[in-house]
């Protein structure tokens, strides 16, 4: 039977409530408050602690229980076709810096794993971007060109050269010496290094308000405040509106399955990802019992688009069974990433006049390296050190060449903001909502989102997203209300699953 949980979190429920750290129950003083307990937040906190700072990490749910626990955990400088995209938007120098800092992040992670003896199945492997069809060959070639111009020693493989995958490809570019690992074991080890010397990690402590200045404050949903010289926002999608990140960042969902192989079934010899759509991201994994797995990801789409369905998982399962000797699809899960429209992550001051407020976010599916890179940049800035990558990742950069993407994104948001309000209700009564499904139900002159759970109970909420007021859409695959404008997500009772929203959807009575 397939469990709906990442393989990395298989020992617990899909969304762990806690990995053992307490909730914040008092006001505290610190030098640095870090919001978010994923790879960005924990790495930032650890580096600041190593600089002698008193650090407090505030995590909404459980450490490694968000996007960082739902990843494939590939650490690669190749990153599908990202280098070609960065080259076209930012030029050769920026592409070379991005590639270089990605390699530096991998080296730092490996040193940390070795020096701290972290048991996280760290493994160096080649990474491959392949063309599944003739249409994708050009993207592979442009990626190889960009990688070479950036100083990476890549090989361009064509149909005559064997690619370490069990299916034919039209072309591929390979970069040796990249890495993969078990993200939750790695992050739990990082988190364990933080407490002590006046440093703390708190779980179930959602920050709902940040004041910047000297000092800054971060206040949690139950009213406790951390007062600190600096606050770093390390949420997957930047939490606060004052940097206007929502206007230049898309929220993108993607899906994964973990397939256990039969005895004798061959593992792929590299990590791999297709250059085009539909994306297929592949990595091997051997667990602590010697079981061999292939993880297959893909089927990405903008959050809140009416495209989230269980058919996404079925497509990935079909691909896994077609190309690998699969005994069982044991796990499936989905995840969400903040994707800056100009293809570079954000690491640095939150806005041009920021006073003590920083961001490390927008990692666009490559958070293992980008979160680590951003942590180094922000820790350097807080410590007053020169950092060679601050300009590259400046959250307040203006990328003129990304103007068409920005215009398209604003048009899409505007269409949802107005158009969704005009759409008719899907049902006139909650009685019409089938078990396990949800409908937009007419309620007087308005509409209410109604879900009927597997036990037949009704859950009704206002559809109005508490971020900027777009109407949420039902996500059938995850049973959540997702906002198509900037990616906030809410459970069937309206509780926030993902920001930028921080307040829950209003609960309503189910219309009859």
Which residues in this chain contact ligand FES in the complex, by CB under 6 A?
Answer: 246, 465, 467-470, 483, 485-488, 500-501
Tokens of 361: 């976010």
> CA 303 → CA 239, 273, 279, 338, distances in Å?
16, 21, 16, 10
The nearest distance, CB 278 to ligand FES, in angstroms, is: 26
The nearest distance, CB 487 to ligand FES, in angstroms, is: 6
The nearest distance, CB 294 to ligand FES, in angstroms, is: 34
The two beta strands, 225-233 and 28-35, are parallel
The nearest distance, CB 411 to ligand FES, in angstroms, is: 15
The nearest distance, CB 416 to ligand FES, in angstroms, is: 8
Choice between 60 and 467, CB closer to ligand FES: 467
Nearest-angstrom CA–CA distance, 79 and 99: 10
The closest alpha carbon to 304, from 468, 110, 488, 451, belongs to 488
The nearest distance, CB 498 to ligand FES, in angstroms, is: 9
Choice between 281 and 302, CB closer to ligand FES: 302
Choice between 56 and 465, CB closer to ligand FES: 465
Nearest-angstrom CA–CA distance, 298 and 335: 10
Nearest-angstrom CA–CA distance, 354 and 350: 6
The nearest distance, CB 488 to ligand FES, in angstroms, is: 4
Choice between 181 and 245, CB closer to ligand FES: 245
The nearest distance, CB 68 to ligand FES, in angstroms, is: 21
The two beta strands, 249-261 and 326-340, are antiparallel
Place of tokens 């009927």: 452
Choice between 343 and 467, CB closer to ligand FES: 467
Choice between 130 and 490, CB closer to ligand FES: 490
Residue 66's Cβ-side half-sphere holds a number of Cα atoms within 13 Å equal to 30
Place of tokens 């690669």: 76
Tokens of 349: 């001051």
The nearest distance, CB 265 to ligand FES, in angstroms, is: 42
Nearest-angstrom CA–CA distance, 484 and 465: 10
In contact, 45 and 34? CB cutoff 8 Å: yes
Choice between 23 and 412, CB closer to ligand FES: 412
Nearest-angstrom CA–CA distance, 106 and 129: 18
Choice between 244 and 435, CB closer to ligand FES: 244
The closest alpha carbon to 319, from 271, 280, 277, 286, belongs to 280
- φ, ψ for residue 106, nearest 5 deg: -60, -45
Nearest-angstrom CA–CA distance, 7 and 70: 8
Nearest-angstrom CA–CA distance, 72 and 81: 17
Choice between 185 and 473, CB closer to ligand FES: 473
DSSP structural state of residue 8: G
The nearest distance, CB 87 to ligand FES, in angstroms, is: 31
Choice between 363 and 467, CB closer to ligand FES: 467
Cα dihedral sign for 332, 336, 341, 344? negative
The nearest distance, CB 22 to ligand FES, in angstroms, is: 30
Nearest-angstrom CA–CA distance, 442 and 459: 15
Choice between 383 and 468, CB closer to ligand FES: 468
What is the H or E stretch that residue 470 is in? none
Task: Using DSSP, state whether 171 is helix, strand or coil.
Answer: strand
CA 373 to chain centre: 15
DSSP structural state of residue 117: T
The nearest distance, CB 324 to ligand FES, in angstroms, is: 37
Choice between 14 and 417, CB closer to ligand FES: 417
Nearest-angstrom CA–CA distance, 103 and 112: 14
Nearest-angstrom CA–CA distance, 443 and 441: 6
């Amino acid at each position: 039977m397939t469990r709906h949980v990442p393989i990395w979190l298989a020992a617990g429920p899909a969304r762990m409530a806690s990995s053992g750290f307490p909730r914040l129950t008092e006001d505290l003083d610190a030098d640095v408050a870090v919001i978010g307990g994923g790879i960005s937040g924990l790495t930032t906190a650890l580096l600041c602690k190593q600089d002698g700072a008193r650090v407090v990490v505030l995590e909404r749910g459980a450490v490694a229980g968000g996007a960082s626990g739902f990843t494939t955990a590939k650490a690669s400088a190749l990153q599908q076709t990202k280098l070609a995209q960065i080259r076209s938007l930012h030029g050769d120098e920026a592409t070379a810096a991005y590639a270089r800092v990605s390699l530096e992040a991998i080296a730092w992670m490996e040193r940390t794993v070795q020096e701290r003896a972290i048991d996280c199945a760290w493994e160096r492997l080649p990474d491959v971007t392949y063309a599944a069809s003739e249409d994708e060959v050009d993207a592979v070639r442009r990626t190889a060109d960009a990688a070479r111009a950036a100083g990476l020693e890549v090989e361009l493989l064509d149909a005559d050269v064997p690619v370490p995958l069990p299916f034919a490809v039209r072309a591929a570019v390979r970069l040796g010496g990249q890495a993969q690992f078990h993200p939750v074991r790695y992050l739990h080890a990082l988190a364990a290094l933080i407490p002590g010397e006046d440093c703390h990690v708190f779980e179930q402590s959602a920050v709902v308000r940040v004041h910047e200045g000297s000092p800054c404050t971060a206040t949690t949903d139950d009213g406790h405040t951390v007062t600190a010289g600096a606050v770093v926002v390390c949420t997957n999608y930047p939490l606060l509106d004052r940097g206007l990140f929502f206007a230049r960042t898309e929220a993108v969902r993607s899906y994964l399955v973990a397939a256990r192989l039969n005895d004798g079934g061959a593992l792929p010899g590299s990590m791999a990802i297709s250059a085009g759509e539909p994306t297929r991201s592949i990595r091997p994994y051997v667990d602590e019992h010697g079981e061999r797995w292939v993880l297959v990801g893909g089927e990405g789409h903008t959050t809140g688009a009416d495209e989230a369905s269980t058919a996404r998982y079925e497509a990935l399962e079909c691909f896994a069974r077609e190309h690998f000797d699969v005994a069982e699809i044991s796990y499936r899960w989905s995840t969400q990433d903040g994707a800056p429209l100009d293809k570079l992550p954000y690491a640095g001051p939150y806005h041009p006049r920021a006073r003590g407020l920083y961001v490390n976010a927008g990692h666009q599916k490559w958070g293992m390296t980008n979160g680590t890179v951003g942590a180094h940049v922000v820790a350097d800035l807080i410590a007053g050190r020169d950092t060679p990558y601050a300009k590259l990742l400046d959250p307040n950069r203006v990328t003129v060449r990304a103007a068409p993407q920005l215009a398209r994104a604003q048009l899409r948001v505007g269409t949802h903001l107005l158009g969704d309000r005009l759409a008719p209700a899907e049902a006139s009564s909650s009685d019409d909502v089938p078990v396990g499904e949800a409908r937009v139900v007419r309620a007087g002159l308005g509409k209410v989102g109604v879900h009927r759970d597997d036990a037949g109970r009704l859950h009704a909420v206002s559809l109005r997203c508490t971020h900027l007021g777009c109407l949420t859409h039902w996500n059938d695959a995850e049973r959540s209300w997702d906002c198509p404008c900037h990616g906030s997500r809410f459970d069937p009772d309206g509780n926030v699953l993902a920001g930028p929203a921080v307040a829950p959807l209003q609960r309503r009575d189910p219309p009859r």
